[in-house]
Structure 1
Amino acid sequence: MNSAIDALTALGHPTRLGAFRLLVEAGADGRVAGDIAEALDVPNATLSFHLKELVRAGLAGSEVAGRNMRYRANFAAMDALVAYLTENCCAGSRGRGCAPAAGKGRRGR
């Protein structure tokens, strides 16, 4: 449960949610920090703080890429969070319309 709380707390900030979306969209290649900062129009120092929070929450990983840091979404952690929410938040619905509808379009955009 603590990992779900950490993940939801991290995603609860608009800059971190935006960065995580970009990382998910980038897939396995990830993105370098400067590209993320430019896409979100935030200063590098501000973005660095937010990316560290995503990494701390287990939603992203990082590695040195030359003179830059490359970040990637942790898809296993994302899947685990969705599974946790589905299992624990839908327990009283007895399966009636609670599970995510895969392939029905993107929500929350």
Structure 2
Amino acid sequence: MEKKDALSAFAALSQETRLDVLRLLIRAGGEGMSAGDIAAALDVRQNTLSTNLAILTRAGLLHSSREGRSIRYFADMGGLTALLAFLMEDCCGGAPDVCRPVLAALPACCAPAAALSEGNS
């Protein structure tokens, strides 16, 4: 991931609703959620949510799939993995043991955790 892409992701996450959306979709996993369900779960107006979903998608943190008249949104685990890898790049000046507690704190079920821990073993 390039620095400009990481900055875009961090800018997208620097707003409360967008951070809540991403965390909600991470919890939803592979099922994702429709825009209407996200709006209801977070008590956010549809037009406000639409703008925030677009920002997160442009930042590479979400992707979507059309289902008839509805759009289902998912956390983009590839984008999240790239962001975490960017942060952990050249971890601790060649002493990856220092970074292991950070990696160990990630849920075992998450692809980013597995990918990063393999790269730092």
TM-score by length of 2: 0.76
Runs ≥4 residues deviating over 2 A? 90-99, 101-105
Partner Cα separation in structure 2 for residue 104 and residue 81 of structure 1: 14
What corresponds to 1:102 in structure 2? Answer: 104
Cα deviation code 1:11-64 (max 9, x no counterpart): 111100110011111111210001101111110100000000010001111122
Q: Where does residue 35 of structure 1 map in the other structure?
A: 37
Tell me the CA shift for residue 103 of structure 1.
4.5
Letter in 2 for 1:97: V
Q: What is the CA–CA distance in structure 1 between the aligned matches of 2:95 and 2:52, rounded to whole Å?
A: 37
Structure 1 segments unaligned to the other structure (5+ residues): none
Which residue matches 2:51?
Answer: 49
Report if the CA contact (8 A) 2:18-2:53 is conserved: yes
Q: CA deviation at 1:3?
A: 1.1
Q: Deviations over 1:52-96 (max 9, x none)?
A: 0010001111122122111111101101100110116x4448435
Which amino acid in 2 is paired with 1:4?
A: A
Structure-1 separation of matches of 2:16 and 2:33: 18
Q: Percent identity?
A: 44
More helix by share: 2
- Residue 14 of structure 1 is matched in structure 2 by 16
Partner of residue 70, structure 1: 72
Q: How far 1:101 moved relative to its partner?
A: 3.2
Normalized against structure 1, the TM-score is what?
0.83
Deviates more, 1:74-83 or 1:92-101: 92-101
Q: In the aligned structure 1, how far is the partner of 2:45 from the partner of 2:32?
A: 19
> Is the CA contact 2:92–2:98 (under 8 Å) kept in the aligned structure 1?
no
Equivalenced residues, count: 104
Q: Rate the CA distance shift 1:33–1:104 in 2: closer, same or farther, 3 A.
A: closer
